[in-house]
Amino acid sequence: MEAAVSPLQNRWTLRDFITLAIFNVVMLIIMTICPIFTFASYLVVGGITALLNAPLYVVMSNKINKRGVLFFTSVITGLYFIAYGYAYFLLVLACMGIVGELVLWGKDGYKNPVRNAIAYALFYVGYSLCAIVPLIFFRDAYIATLSKSYSKAAMDKMLYYYSTPSMAITMLAISAAGGLLGCLIGNVLFKKHVKKAKLA
Amino acid sequence: MRKPGPKTHLLVLLLATILTILIKEEWQVHMMVALSVVYLVLNHLSRKVMPFILVYVMSLVIAYIMPQMLGTMKLVFYSFARMMPLVMIGATLMYSPPGSLMCVLERMAVPRPITVMICVLLRFFPVVIMEMQAIRDGIRARGIFPHWYSALLHPAMAYECYFMPLVVRCLKLSAELASSAELRGIESKCSRTSIYPYHFKSVDAVALLIYIIAGTAIYGGGIIR
């Protein structure tokens, strides 16, 4: 059985909050740029975003190493997308953040590369789910919003990817794979550069 | 004339966020941008207005002319244009002195860690973008990727060359910022004071009232149409 984490060890300091905020700024910028990869396919956007953000997440989580890193990251990402007018992002991402925290529950969850990678992959599964959830719960209103910036053909193509179960599952699987692979690369880079330089 | 304070900016930002979620028509977004221009001028930020309008128009034009194959990127530009009123109101917070913003948030009983995080998130977007550009320039200056397609030929190397300096820079920035904040007494238990005026005065009430009336008119106009 794993030992419980002492409250003192798990207490966040202002230094931790500042680290979290700075790393999240970079991750949000990358998240904003990544939809350009839809020129390849709608299916890969979540996976590529997860792959690119993973080294930042691995370093941030290992540096802070306190319960709540993933949850706070999810909430900040959700709040950022509220500014774009997508309020449901916060709900979906916060739920996935809680699930991720449950995966990381216990002593040094963030230092464990496997559990950390699984939790991170789950977060990106949630990120990809954000495109699917509104089509399940408020399809008509969502389509009405999208129709302002899409032609009929492009809309049909997008709906094909987001509302066909096999495509949606493939997209979620690619996001999870991107997250896992990204964490694997992130851990290699973390050991090769950051740990060696004693920066975290 | 005294400018509205950070408390008003926060309330207006909250109202603008709710309005952005509620409005559906394109003309309503144009009207919200116009309203934000008025708010920026009220805050003596007239010089910042033109770049925002240019970015707004360009985002709309790009979203309009962009080929459909770019899919969600088109949506990103469209959403970015929709987000412009919030960015403009957010700019008033970005150009407010951090001390006054922290003082106001503390008096609104916002926990100090959240206050610090809000300030960092608001002020570090331009800094991080500058850092990213500096890394790109450094790579070019060293001739690591001499041609525009060189990074595409060696994606793994490009990934490492770009992301590791970025990660290290973020670690350095966070350490420096945290040390600086600690040195300035951020963890002090005393109540924070500010040399900048932050109390809610008549000018704040007028600015807020104008925004509420205009915002209600924009939202109501959408329902009537």
Average of per-residue pLDDT values in chain A = 86
Chain B residues within 8 A of A83 when measuring between CB atoms: 17, 20, 83, 86
Q: Where are the domains of chain A?
A: 14-35+42-130+172-195
Q: Are residues B82 and B155 in the same domain?
A: no
- What is residue A4's DSSP assignment? P
Tokens for B153, please give them: 């030929």
Q: List the single best residue of A10, A13, A14 to mutate versus B (max B Cβ within 10 A).
A: A14
- Token digits of residue B143: 């001739």
Q: What is the pLDDT of residue B211?
A: 93
Structure tokens at B2: 């005294």
One domain for residues B170 and B213: no
Could you tell me if B82 and B59 are in contact, meaning their C-beta atoms sit under 8 angstroms apart? no
- Whether A145 and B72 lie within 8 Å, measured CB to CB: no
Q: Per-residue pLDDT tens for A165-180?
A: 888 899 999 999 999 9
Is residue A121 within 8 Å of A50, Cβ to Cβ?
Answer: yes
pLDDT at B18: 87
Same domain, B77 and B131: no
Residue A1's pLDDT is 42
- Give the mean model confidence (pLDDT) for residues B197-205: 85
Residue at A34: amino acid letter: C
Q: Can you give the pLDDT at residue A58?
A: 95
pLDDT of B212 > 70? The answer is: yes
The count of structural domains within chain B is 2
pLDDT bracket for residue A118 (50, 70, 90): very high
Please indicate whether, in this complex, the C-beta atoms of A25 and B112 are within 8 angstroms of each other: no
Provide the number of CB pairs (under 8 Å) joining chain A to chain B: 146
pLDDT of residue A2: 45
Provide the 8-state DSSP code for A65.
-
User: What secondary structure does DSSP assign to B62-97, as a single string?
Assistant: HHHHS-GGGTHHHHHHHHHHHHHHHHHHHHHHHTS-
Residue range B42-86, pLDDT digits in tens:
888 888 899 999 999 998 888 878 766 666 677 778 778 888 898
The CA-atom distances, in angstroms, between A30 and each of A162, B99, B134, B168, B182 are 22, 29, 16, 17, 29
State mean pLDDT over A107-122: 91
Least confident of A65-74, A90-99, A153-162, B22-31: A153-162
Tokens linked to A157? 């193509």
DSSP of chain B: -PPP-HHHHHHHHHHHHHHHHH--SHHHHHHHHHHHHHHHHHTT-HHHHHHHHHHHHHHHHHHHHS-GGGTHHHHHHHHHHHHHHHHHHHHHHHTS-HHHHHHHHHHTT--HHHHHHHHHHHHHHHHHHHHHHHHHHHHHHTTSS-STTHHHHSHHHHHHHHHHHHHHHHHHHHHHHHHHHHHTTTT--SPP--SS--S--HHHHHHHHHHHHHHHHHHHHHHH-
Contacts of A39 in chain B (CB under 8 A): 69-71, 73
Rounded mean pLDDT of A195-199? 84
A193 touches chain B (CB under 8 A): yes
Residue B134 has pLDDT above 60, yes or no: yes
What per-residue confidence (pLDDT) applies to A5?
52
Q: Determine the average pLDDT of the residues in A85-104.
A: 90
User: What pLDDT shows up at residue B186?
Assistant: 82
* Distance in angstroms (rounded) separating the CA atoms of residues A38 and A132: 16
CA pair distance B150, B144, nearest whole angstrom: 9
Q: pLDDT digits over B151-184, tens only?
A: 888 888 888 898 899 999 999 999 999 999 889 8
The per-residue pLDDT for A9 is: 60
What pLDDT does B72 receive?
65
- The helix/strand/coil state of A23 is helix
What phi and psi values does residue B111 have, to the nearest 5 degrees? -55, 145
Tell me if chain B has a CB within 8 Å of the CB of A167: no
CA dist A88 and A142 (Å) reads: 11
Q: Looking at the domain assignment, is residue B139 inside a domain?
A: yes
- List A residues 105-164 in contact with B (Cβ-Cβ < 8 A): 131, 144-146, 148-151, 153-154, 157-158
Q: Residue B85: inside a domain, yes or no?
A: yes
pTM (two decimals): 0.85
Q: Give contacts of A146 with chain B, Cβ < 8 Å.
A: 75
What does the alpha-carbon distance between residue A74 and residue A80 come to, in Å, rounded to a whole number? 10
More confident residue, B49 or B223: B49
Taking CA atoms, A116 is separated from A5, A54, A105, B135, in Å, by 17, 10, 10, 28
Examine the domain organization and report whether B93 and B201 are in the same domain: yes
pLDDT reported for residue B69: 61
Q: How confident is the model at residue A151 (pLDDT cuts 50, 70, 90)?
A: low
**Considering just the CA atoms, what is the radius of gyration of chain A in Å?**
18
Whether the Cβ atoms of residue B120 and residue A21 lie closer than 8 Å to each other? yes
A3 pLDDT higher than 50: no
Q: Are residues B184 and B203 in the same domain?
A: no
Question: Could you give the CA distance from residue B51 to residue B45 in angstroms, rounded to a whole number?
Answer: 11
Q: What's the complex ipTM? A: 0.82
Residues B1 and B92 in one domain: yes
Residues B69 and B6 in one domain: yes
Q: How many CB atoms lie within 10 A of CB B133?
A: 10
The predicted model gives A31-36 an average pLDDT of 85
Residues 6 or more apart in contact with residue B96 via CB below 8 angstroms: B5, B6, B9, B196
Tell me the residue range of the domain where B189 lies: 125-195
A45-83 pLDDT, tens digit each:
899 999 999 999 999 999 999 999 999 999 999 998 887
In a domain, B120, yes or no: no
* In contact, A12 and A66? CB cutoff 8 Å: yes
pLDDT of residue B32 exceeding 80? yes
Q: How far apart are CA B43 and CA A101, in angstroms?
A: 42
Pair (B9, B90) in one structural domain: yes
